[in-house]
Amino acid sequence: MKHTMDFPVIPASTLNIQQLYRQQDSRQGSKPLPFTQGQMLQGTITGKNDNNSYLLDIGGKQLQADSKALLQIGQKLDLHVTAVSPRVELQVVSDPLPRQIGATLHALDGQKTLLQNISQLSRDGNTTGLSQAAKQTLSFFSQSAVQLNPSAQQSSAPISNALLTTVIQSLQSNPATTPQTTRHLEVLLQTILPAFSQETTAANQTGQLLDRLSGSTSLALAVSGKEQGVPIALLEQTISSALQTPQQTLQLARQLVSLFSNSQSLLPTKELQTILSLALSLPSATQNTTIPPDGQQLQQLVERLGLNMEQLFAQNKGQEATQTLKFALLELGQQLTGSNIPSGEQTGQILQTLELYQMLQLRLASEFLFFLPLPLPFLDQGYLLVDKQPEQEDGKGNESQENSLRYTLHLKLEGLGNLRIEMQQTQERLDLRFFAEDRDKMIFMHEHKEELAKWLTAVDLGSTQFFSGADDPAKTLLQKITTDSAGVINTKA
């Protein structure tokens, strides 16, 4: 019987690889290993030349490694790619949590489309069997996808056009909506509801329609019986009374009415008349004006992700837990189990992203850091780190230091690239330090410092400074979840 021997591993030993291979590998046409940042690998120590020199096998490739760490022949290493430039840097992983984080860190690249994917899932997934709380949660995130997306708000096709187009396309094939169209109408109505003042007729009509759509698989738009339908003349009167409606919206409204004019047997339903009336009465300012997200909106979005769902259940706060995105996705995933449809895979991917956020919170808490993801459609990557251990000079705290909070935004934006914003806030002021990824972008940011300050905060500013040297947000996370040690391995042929 063969026995395997476990070797002790110095925690977080670092391997710096020059990615040079044996001459025989080059003659045989072998290609270098395709290292990518965040990748998890396994390697084996296959030989030792002197005190600090080892042979390391990764994927059948032999590399020569120099290290101060005590390594043994036959020792298997779990390795995490923490950098790929200027040299590949690997880190020995002994804690399973960083290993799990490294295996799913690629999900950070999907932050920009997270809300959009949830909105698509709400439209295309089979959500009819979900609880009311889960449906409301998916609707909330679908609405947020529109409200927090500047490009969607500035679209040339306003929401009223989207409502009418959806209804027209549905009527051209069926008098009643399909489950997919029903969910799409529900999302659109959830989006326009805040545009109407409370207790108005339009607000009440929108609420009643949402109640009608909730839990339904279809909505009748046309009927054959005169006693159940409304006269076409009533739709025409609704259009003629819309005095300030954009021309494109009026054209769609007339196209909708023409579908019934050409039919001898079908009449519009009362629900269809209500949708037409809402589309024509929607305030134009809501359709074309960008609504910047505020702090309260972002806070609600992050809180409802469900990163503390398990904790809420443990605290007997089940009602709050069931109103989170994670709970809704788990419920939907259970409903889709065994079905071979794209919605099932998409549900799993979004859950994986949420679990990555949870693991990052857990790991960084040991470093006295609170991790807050920012899955916003205008950020390629984004998160906030809150330092929960305020700095104290000479080991002595004072009232000013104790009331001081330090935040760091790590962002990746199209055009600006990597951006780090360090903020230190007291009761009286906020000090800002901007770090761009290079000098040219630092100068550009300095020229727009007043706009940047307004974008970040409304409180009085103290000092504002600009520097270069911002790293990729994912790379920064990798550096924080692993702890460097003196064990460095330099590999060469």
Rounded Cα gap, residues 262 and 259, in angstroms:
6
Please answer whether residues 109 and 472 qualify as being in contact, where contact means their C-beta atoms are separated by less than 8 angstroms.
Answer: no
- Give the Cβ contact number of residue 167 at 10 Å: 24
What pLDDT is attached to residue 421?
92
Calculate the CA dihedral of residues 443, 446, 447, 450 and round it to 10 degrees: 160
The string over 168-188, giving b where at least 16 C-beta atoms fall within 10 Å of a residue's C-beta and e elsewhere, is bebbeeebbbebebbbbbbbb
What pLDDT is attached to residue 26?
46
DSSP 89: E
- Kindly give the confidence (pLDDT) of every residue in the chain, 493 residues in length, as a single tens digit, with 9 standing for 90 and above: 444 444 444 444 666 664 444 444 444 455 555 677 667 777 888 888 777 777 878 878 887 777 777 778 888 887 777 777 777 777 777 667 777 787 788 888 888 888 888 887 876 666 777 888 888 888 888 777 766 765 544 443 467 888 888 898 888 888 888 887 887 888 788 777 776 766 678 888 888 888 888 777 888 898 887 667 888 888 888 888 877 778 888 888 999 988 888 777 788 999 999 999 888 887 554 444 444 556 677 888 899 999 999 999 989 999 999 999 999 999 988 887 766 667 778 888 999 999 999 999 988 887 888 999 999 888 899 999 998 765 554 545 444 454 567 899 999 988 889 999 998 887 777 888 999 999 999 998 888 877 776 666 656 777 889 999 999 998 888 888 875 433 334 444 3
| Residues contacting residue 292 through CB under 8 Å, at least 6 positions apart | none
The 10s digit of each residue's pLDDT in 445-487 is 888 877 776 666 656 777 889 999 999 998 888 888 875 433 3
What pLDDT is attached to residue 487?
36
DSSP 176: B
Class at the top of the CATH hierarchy for domain 14-100+483-492 = mainly beta
What pLDDT is attached to residue 153?
46
Helix ranges restricted to H, 148-289:
150-153, 159-171, 179-192, 201-213, 232-240, 247-261, 270-281, 284-288
Using a cut of 0.75, tell me whether the model's pTM lies above it.
Answer: no
What pLDDT is attached to residue 305?
95
Give helix 201-213 / helix 179-192 axis angle, nearest 10°: 150
DSSP 241-264: T--S--HHHHHHHHHHHHHHHT-S
What pLDDT is attached to residue 154?
44
Helix, strand, coil content of the chain in percent (nearest 5): 45, 20, 35
What pLDDT is attached to residue 382?
92
Residues of the chain with CATH 2.40.50: 14-100+483-492
What pLDDT is attached to residue 372?
94
What pLDDT is attached to residue 403?
57
Rounded Cα gap, residues 350 and 106, in angstroms:
12
Rounded Cα gap, residues 253 and 278, in angstroms:
11
Output the six-digit token pair for 159.
């929401």
What pLDDT is attached to residue 352?
92
Grouping H, G, I as helix, E, B as strand and the rest as coil, residue 454 is helix
Helices (H) and strands (E) in the chain, counts: 21, 15
Nearest Cα neighbor of 92 from 383, 485, 474 is 485
Q: Under the phi-then-psi rule, with left for phi > 0, alpha for psi from -120 to 50, and beta for the rest, what region is 368?
A: left
The 10s digit of each residue's pLDDT in 280-322 is 887 554 444 444 556 677 888 899 999 999 999 989 999 999 9
